[in-house]
Amino acid sequence: MNEKMVKAINKQLNFELESAHVYLAMQNYFARQSLSGFEHWFNVQYKEEVEHAEKFMTYLNDRGQNVEITGFGNPKNDFNSVLEVLETSLAHEKKVTKKINELMDLAIELNDYASVSFLQWYIDEQVEEEANFSELIDKVKMMDGKGLYILNRELGSRTE
């Protein structure tokens, strides 16, 4: 594999772990607010990000490349509202989408067809990631306090 590609994938897999921590901090914000449905939903999101990182790790290992785990900055732990958490999440996912698109650009430029094929899953996943948060933002904007209680119950049943 081209070294540039290996380096870029390593960077992204560490960013996925950083994303996991971003959502873990949010999960605990919701725990403090006694919004257990949101807490659960963000725990599923946290685990999903770990899976995204693991998928990249498996890919590098399968192709005989070294995985390098790095550190990263502290996530935001405090928020003023549910909406602020969701808007921060959507902005984060847009950042992820940009990074995944850049990885795809690099794979195409290097004629790395295996990486092009592999990255397609992440391109599709990002459509879902952004849609999930946009939808939640719309729902929260439409509701009053009682609606938030109902949404909280609904989010408690997320499985994937």
Q: Which among 9, 27, 33 is positioned nearest to 100, based on CA atoms? A: 9
- Tokens at 109, concatenated: 């430029």
Q: Write out the H or E segment, with its range, that includes residue 156.
A: none
Instruction: Supply the minimum distance, in Å, between the C-beta of residue 150 and ligand OFO.
Output: 26
Nearer to ligand OFO, 124 or 147 (CB): 124
Applying CB under 6 A, the residues found at the interface with ligand OFO are: 16, 19, 49, 52, 93, 96, 129
Nearer to ligand OFO, 7 or 95 (CB): 95
In the bound state, the residue with its beta carbon closest to ligand OFO is 19
- b (16+ CB within 10 A) / e for 95-121: ebbebbeebbebbeeeebeebbebbee
Instruction: Supply the minimum distance, in Å, between the C-beta of residue 16 and ligand OFO.
Output: 5
Instruction: Supply the minimum distance, in Å, between the C-beta of residue 147 and ligand OFO.
Output: 26
Nearer to ligand OFO, 55 or 139 (CB): 55
Instruction: Supply the minimum distance, in Å, between the C-beta of residue 127 and ligand OFO.
Output: 11
Nearer to ligand OFO, 16 or 112 (CB): 16
Alpha helices in 1-112 (DSSP H): 3-32, 36-62, 82-109
Angle at which helices 113-142 and 145-155 cross, to 10°: 150
Nearer to ligand OFO, 7 or 98 (CB): 98
**Coil vs helix vs strand at 1:** coil
Q: Write out the H or E segment, with its range, that includes residue 34.
A: none
Instruction: Supply the minimum distance, in Å, between the C-beta of residue 82 and ligand OFO.
Output: 19
